[in-house]
A and B are shown apart, each in its own frame.
Chain A
Amino acid sequence: MNVLKIQELSVRYGPVEALSKVDLEVQPAMVYGIIGPDGAGKTTLLRSICTLLPYQEGSIEVLGYDAANRAKEIRARIGYMPQRFSLYQDLSVQQNLRFFARLFKVNHADMLKRREQLYKFSRLEPFAKRLAGNLSGGMKQKLALSCALIHTPGLIILDEPTFGVDPVSRVEFWQLLHQLKADGISIVVSTPYMDEASQCDQVVLLHKGRMIGQGSPAEIISGWKGKLYSLTSSDLRKLYEFLLSRANKEDLQLFGSEIHLFSEQELSSDKIASWQREFPALESCVEIKPGMEDVFLRMMQ
């Protein structure tokens, strides 16, 4: 059985189409990534799954319930972590957990047991009495995740959970997600980070409300047709200008300390050598394997 099944979903805000014909299926114990830049429609998609937004076309089925008319059943069975930190900052870690447990009618004994597990899992116990507002970014996210898990849901929906969190905490947070997956929990997570996308079992790439790709990260990368080259230089900006006169702008991407160049055919060694003559500051030009980000940027065009 699918934990989540979305068919031909379209969501409009007035005349603006935020999502258009999105399909996806999430199986049990799977990490499903919603990948896309800001404004791609990730939050709209996640809110629709949580029954927070009405949708105009298509269908959403969450844990066997139709999102159009069984909102209450769905809301009782999923865990949700909105994009913005949305717990009570003036309540302590413990009080937040207790409040959400009571909201979901978890009885006291079960709540204590579950809290124990979640404290171990998130290592938040030493901060039980600290106000949520005084936690660090990473700990806030761990608390939000714990609150979303307090009623032992089968599916959790996380909207950019690691946004604005330091890299160490990000890695730690993803370790928690893998642990949850191992416990059989399905996770739908949105992220703008491509390194996180490659940690998902399945991803859907969203751009301007449309799906531009779907599948496992390996499948998506293997769908890459053509060659990719990495070029470096001491003067990257000049190199970029130089390449602009030799290749299409769409085929060039600046990547921190290198430039990625897409080419349908293999670049001949003569061509590379001639570039090196014309632009002596070109240090290297080697073929590389494309990453998620390359694929995504390519697909956006």
Chain B
Amino acid sequence: MPSFSRIRAIAEKEVFHILRDSRTLAIIFLMPLLQLIIFGYAMNMEIRQVPLLVDDLAMNSSSRALVSAFVNTDYFVLIAKEAGTLKPDELFRERRAQATLTIPKDFGAFQHRVLLRIDASDPNSAQMIQNYALGIVNSTGVRTEAGIDLRAQILYNPDLKSSFFFVPGLIALILVMVCALLTSISISREKEMGTMEQILVSPVSATEILFGKVIPYLILGLLDALIILAVGMLLFQVPFRGDFSVFLLFTFLYVLTSLCLGLLVSTVAKTQQAAMMMALGLTLLPTLLLSGYMFPITSMPVILQKLTYIIPARYYLQIIRGIMLKGNNIAQLYQAGLSLLSMSVLMLIVAARRFKLRLS
């Protein structure tokens, strides 16, 4: 039976370390903020002020309404008419315009077709431009194509703001990185400094050491999540539609999973340096690439899809997007939550078994 008082002794000692160690404090608080701000502004995928050439052959009230609908948004800016003498190809090649809109002569009366040409040398931007244009055309109530009433409705993020996409993703990424680093470094530091040898010659058990290490960082991890969330909401105006207690509960599970991953790393790594490399290697790229953060899981090859099941961020991303953007409740998220819980229990058991109470 693990002794609660011993776990408490280790946890409290850990708090003293954290408070005295400016490096750990920097990892905990400064790193997430820096990442959020750098990622936040660098990963801006929104497109604004797209240079648009309008070739209005109708020149009637309908066409003018359509054009002003385009211009009245921040997404498009009209380029000067004289460029109209150039062909679309040349316009695109010289990067004078990224899109052209051609309105046919009888627009509004018989014709409902307009032609939008988009420079798709950057396919992502092209996709965005198309979506924006579609949204604008739909909002004017004009049918895009005679006979087909195509009205795409974009849910949860109608303006396709990229901050809605990256802030939840960054919370997932930063938490797993910081938490895995914290526990793995904390244990490997004791090995490196020789203090592990000292505390091993006592009745302390592996479980007590591991619990004692996890508990303080669990609280710090949650605190970290709150800071990232608050800064994300303040700087990038991300909504929070769900329940805060649901967020706390599931974030707790995710932080626990990440800390247990760090424990597992520490049973392999002998030095702080090795622990740091391993913790980063196991969290940074897998989370970016395989969690569904950057690339949709459904479009991955089957093998990679299977691999995503062992990426904790895969589940948390579902949870955090669900809570922030869709207002999900516990019932809608419990499966992802259970996955996280079983992952952490499993990793904790493996770490406790692998943890050596002897020197090797």
- Do chains A and B stick together as partners? yes
User: Residues of A with Cβ closer than 8 Å to B?
Assistant: 47, 50-54, 71-72, 75-76, 78, 80, 82, 84-91, 95, 99-100, 102-105, 147
Whether A100 contacts B202 by the Cβ 8 Å rule is: yes
Which residues from B are CB-within-8-Å of A86? 193-195, 197-198
Whether A82 contacts B204 by the Cβ 8 Å rule is: no
Q: How far apart are B188's CB and chain A's nearest CB, in angstroms?
A: 15
Which residues from B are CB-within-8-Å of A99? 9, 13
Query: What residue of chain B has the Cβ atom nearest to residue A91's Cβ?
Result: B16
A50 CA / B21 CA spacing, docked (Å)? 31
Kindly state whether residue B17 has any CB partner on chain A within 8 Å. yes
Given contacts A87-B195, A99-B13, 9 further A-B contacts (CB under 8 A): A51-B358, A52-B197, A54-B358, A75-B202, A80-B198, A86-B194, A86-B195, A90-B17, A103-B203
Which residues from B are CB-within-8-Å of A76? 202-203
Kindly state whether residue B200 has any CB partner on chain A within 8 Å. yes
Q: Which of B6, B16, B201 contacts A105 (CB 8 A)?
A: B6
Also in contact, A104 and B202, with CB within 8 A (given A88-B17, A90-B21) = yes
Q: How many A-B residue pairs have CB under 8 A?
A: 71
Q: How far apart are B238's CB and chain A's nearest CB, in angstroms?
A: 38
Which residues from A are CB-within-8-Å of B3? 105
Also in contact, A78 and B201, with CB within 8 A (given A52-B359, A86-B193, A103-B9) = yes
Kindly state whether residue B5 has any CB partner on chain A within 8 Å. yes
Q: List 24 A-B contacts (CB under 8 A).
A: A52-B200, A52-B201, A52-B358, A53-B358, A54-B358, A71-B357, A72-B203, A72-B205, A75-B201, A76-B202, A78-B201, A82-B194, A82-B198, A86-B195, A88-B17, A90-B17, A90-B21, A99-B13, A102-B9, A103-B6, A103-B10, A103-B199, A105-B3, A147-B198
State which residues 251-275 of B face A: CB under 8 Å: none
Kindly state whether residue B87 has any CB partner on chain A within 8 Å. no
Q: Mark B184-221, 1 if CB is under 8 A from A, else 0.
A: 00000000011101111111110000000000000000
Interface residues of B: mostly helix, strand, loop or mixed? Answer: helix
A99 CA / B209 CA spacing, docked (Å)? 13
Which residues from A are CB-within-8-Å of B16? 88, 90-91, 95
A84 CA / B197 CA spacing, docked (Å)? 10
A260 CA / B333 CA spacing, docked (Å)? 83
A86 CA / B204 CA spacing, docked (Å)? 16
Chain B residues within 8 Å of chain A by Cβ, number:
26
Kindly state whether residue B20 has any CB partner on chain A within 8 Å. yes
Q: How far apart are B337's CB and chain A's nearest CB, in angstroms?
A: 34
A59 CA / B317 CA spacing, docked (Å)? 55
Also in contact, A50 and B203, with CB within 8 A (given A82-B194, A102-B6) = no
A54 CA / B358 CA spacing, docked (Å)? 8
Query: What residue of chain B has the Cβ atom nearest to residue A54's Cβ?
Result: B358
Which residues from B are CB-within-8-Å of A72? 203, 205
Whether A103 contacts B359 by the Cβ 8 Å rule is: no
Also in contact, A53 and B200, with CB within 8 A (given A88-B195, A102-B9, A103-B6) = no
State which residues 1-44 of B face A: CB under 8 Å: 3, 5-6, 8-10, 13, 16-17, 20-21
Query: What residue of chain A has the Cβ atom nearest to residue B9's Cβ?
Result: A102
A51 CA / B194 CA spacing, docked (Å)? 16
A82 CA / B200 CA spacing, docked (Å)? 11
Q: How far apart are A130's CB and chain B's nearest CB, in angstroms?
A: 13
Which residues from A are CB-within-8-Å of B20? 90
Query: What residue of chain A has the Cβ atom nearest to residue B356's Cβ?
Result: A52
A297 CA / B27 CA spacing, docked (Å)? 53
Whether A75 contacts B203 by the Cβ 8 Å rule is: yes
Q: How far apart are A263's CB and chain B's nearest CB, in angstroms?
A: 45
Q: How far apart are B213's CB and chain A's nearest CB, in angstroms?
A: 14
Which residues from B are CB-within-8-Å of A95? 13, 16
A256 CA / B198 CA spacing, docked (Å)? 37
A105 CA / B2 CA spacing, docked (Å)? 12
Q: Which of B5, B21, B193, B198 contacts A102 (CB 8 A)?
A: B5
What 8 A-B pairs have minimum CB-CB distances, sorted nearest first?
A: A102-B9, A86-B198, A80-B201, A76-B203, A86-B194, A90-B20, A84-B194, A103-B202
A102 CA / B201 CA spacing, docked (Å)? 13
Whether B197 contacts A103 by the Cβ 8 Å rule is: no
Which residues from A are CB-within-8-Å of B205? 72
Query: What residue of chain B has the Cβ atom nearest to residue A133's Cβ?
Result: B20
